[in-house]
């Protein structure tokens, strides 16, 4: 299952229309401050079919991908990863979970917990400006 997740991430970097993920929350936050963008943080569980499905169906080849890359710095956090992120603020027992933060790390809107579908994400992008 680990191979599938890594393969999915590799595949997403090869596709023309995909979210530009970062793996280091602190660097992403600094970039968001510099570029005056918001943060979109996806927490996933390693070897989770739901997380793999969210990455492949929701964050690749969708009409809203350009908007995400234009307005957000996107961070992919894998449960129990070694690099740090504000775990107290982004605490969840449900994976995947998607958080929207401004560049000062304040919530822009409620997170999406559980299934992250293209329709759900697209409606959130319209509401959470």
Other C-beta atoms within 10 Å of 93: how many? 6
Confidence of residue 41 (pLDDT cuts 50, 70, 90): very high
3-state secondary structure of 36: coil
Q: Report residue 31 as tokens.
A: 């970039």
Distance CA 97, CA 103 (A): 19
38-44 and 21-22 strand pairing: unpaired
The predicted model gives 1-8 an average pLDDT of: 51
CB atoms within 10 A of CB 89: 12
pLDDT tens digit string along 93-118? 888 999 999 988 889 999 999 989 99
What pLDDT is stored for residue 94 in this prediction? 87
Q: Once rounded to an integer, what is the mean pLDDT over residues 56-65?
A: 92
Q: Is the pLDDT of residue 121 over 70?
A: yes
Q: Say what the pLDDT of residue 129 is.
A: 67
* CATH homologous superfamily, domain 17-128: Glutaredoxin (3.40.30.10)
- Token pair recorded at residue 22: 């970062």
Provide CB contacts within 8 A for 70, sequence distance 6+: none
Report helix, strand or coil for 101.
Answer: strand
Q: What whole-number percentage of the chain has pLDDT above 90?
A: 51
pLDDT mean across residues, the chain:
84
State how far the Cα of 70 lies from the Cα of 53, in Å rounded to an integer. 23
Beta bridge partners of 64: none
- Per-domain residue ranges of the chain: 17-128
| pLDDT at residue 30, rounded to an integer | 95
Give residue-wise pLDDT tens across range 21-36. Answer: 998 999 999 999 999 9
- Taking CA atoms, 23 is separated from 69, 98, 124, 127, in Å, by 15, 14, 23, 26
């Amino acid at each position: 299952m680990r191979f599938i997740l890594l393969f999915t991430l590799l595949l997403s970097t090869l596709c023309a229309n995909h979210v530009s993920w970062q793996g280091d929350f602190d660097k992403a936050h600094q970039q968001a401050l510099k570029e005056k963008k918001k943060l979109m943080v996806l927490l996933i569980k390693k070897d989770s079919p739901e997380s793999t499905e969210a990455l492949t169906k929701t964050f690749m080849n969708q009409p809203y991908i350009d908007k995400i890359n234009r307005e957000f710095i996107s961070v992919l956090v894998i449960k129990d990863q070694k690099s740090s992120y504000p775990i107290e603020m982004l605490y969840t027992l449900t994976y995947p979970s998607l958080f929207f933060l401004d560049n000062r790390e304040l919530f822009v809107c409620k997170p999406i917990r559980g299934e992250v579908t293209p329709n759900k994400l697209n409606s959130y992008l319209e509401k959470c400006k």
